[in-house]
Amino acid sequence: MPDVNMPKLSDTMEEGKILRWLKKPGERVAIGDILAEVETDKANMELEAYDEGVLSEVRVKEGESAPVGAVIAVLAGADDVKPAARPASRPEPAPAPARAEPRPESGREPWRPTVVRRPEAAAEPEGGEAIKASPRARRIAREHEIDLRSLRGTGPGGRIVEKDVEGAIAAGGAAPKKEAETVSAPEAPPRGERRMELSRVRRTTAKRMSESKREVPHFYASSDIRMDEAVRLKATLADLGGEFEGITFTHLVLKAVGIALTRVPEVNASYDGDAIVLHDTVHVGIATAVETGLIVPVVHDCDRQPLGALVRQARALVERARAGRFESADLIGGTFTLSNLGMYPVSTFAAVINPPQAAILAVGAIRDVPVVEGSHVVPGRLMTVTLSCDHRIIDGVIAGRFLAELSGLLTRPLALVV
């Protein structure tokens, strides 16, 4: 009976969470069927069946996580399944507490940000356990000097809500005013805060970027690149349409990076313990913002693909990533990363290296600036790029050579097309 294991769906995936089983025990499974939806460190992805049979056992339930390689289900042949096998009758579930929050039957609650407010001194006890009360209930209790400890909450989980405080006021529960009370400055209104649970993608990003800044000795090299000819070339190619439909400056930079990496291969490298790995292939990841955080779809063979093919592949990858429809292969194999904030008014920034890669390129917006040409000042278009380097692999001279190659390719961009 073949096992169904938790697959490794991205380079950095260590565990996956079962969001939903699309096949139930007893159902027949064919090769290529989608068994489940899995939440990875990158996004939600589909788990495909590579064997056929009958799903006889589910070992990881919806909402539970399992490490990569763990058995999450078992397939059986049709002859192995008992025709009359039925699960033992389950005892009736115990009734939920009167004040418990209702939960969906699927076991997964829709995500909601939790609103957290700073406790109010007048409505909180001086010591002991914190009292669960809504912000409005606290404010009304403070204004009428109601001791929240004397109230019984009727909200979810025993939380004190507005009507509980108003009931106490109507019943005469307001404390008498103190006669010789010291007048203090009015208390500032409570400031709201939202507590947003980290998505799995953002948790992974936080972990890896923290490790990168802690363990990788970064240094940075920046260059201002004349983009006048690149601006004209992009406009010309966009007018041609066809394979260049939807071309952006990201695509031009992507192609230039691919060529520059072949000319300065020390940048197309990664760190592996006591060794440096120089990659023969040039696979460039594009940092892409999605609803759950940041993912990096990888454009393969950037050096060898014609610009038109590169535009099509990069556009399709980013569109799939933003729609959440990408495959695990879209996120694997990157040797270098490109992060472009040029669509925003960001002139320059420095990105954090994506280990074990040796470098990442941060691209700013194209700016209209005065440029000196000979004895004249003329209008020009400048773009600032910053290369973040792992100093264990790349020295300053190597970074300078790479930026020189990149600048030359973008300053005279016809080489990107021919």
Do 115-195 and 200-416 agree at the fold level?
no
Nearest Cα to 151, choosing from 136, 173, 126, 170? 173
Q: Into which CATH architecture does domain 115-195 fall? A: Irregular (4.10)
Q: Which residue has the tokens 């799995």?
A: 200
Cα gap 311→283, rounded to integer Å? 14
- Domain spanning 200-416: CATH 3.30.559.10: yes
- Mark whether 391 is an active-site residue: yes
First vs last Cα of the chain: how many Å apart? 55
Global model pTM greater than 0.85:
no
- In 6-50, where do the E strands start and end? 15-21, 28-29, 34-39, 44-48
Averaged in consecutive runs of 10 residues, what is the pLDDT profile of the chain (418 residues)? 81 82 89 84 76 89 88 78 48 48 44 40 45 74 78 74 74 52 59 80 86 95 97 95 92 97 97 92 93 88 94 92 80 94 95 95 96 90 97 97 98 93
**Tokens for 373?**
């040409």
CATH topology of domain 3-80: OB fold (Dihydrolipoamide Acetyltransferase, E2P) (2.40.50)
| Eight-class DSSP state of 100 | P
C-alpha to C-alpha distance for 35 and 60, rounded to whole angstroms = 12
Q: Are 339 and 57 in contact (CB under 8 A)?
A: no
Residue 172: left (phi > 0), alpha (psi -120 to 50), or beta? left
CA proximity to 361, closest of 299, 332, 403, 408: 403
Q: Indicate the helix (H) or strand (E) that contains 316.
A: helix 307-323
Domain boundaries, the chain: 3-80, 115-195, 200-416
Q: How is residue 24 written in tokens?
A: 């139930």
Handedness of CA 52, 53, 59, 60 (dihedral sign): positive
Q: Angle 307-323/249-263 helices, nearest 10 degrees?
A: 120
H-assigned helices in 159-306? 162-170, 200-215, 228-240, 249-263
- Greatest distance between any 2 Cα atoms in the chain: 93
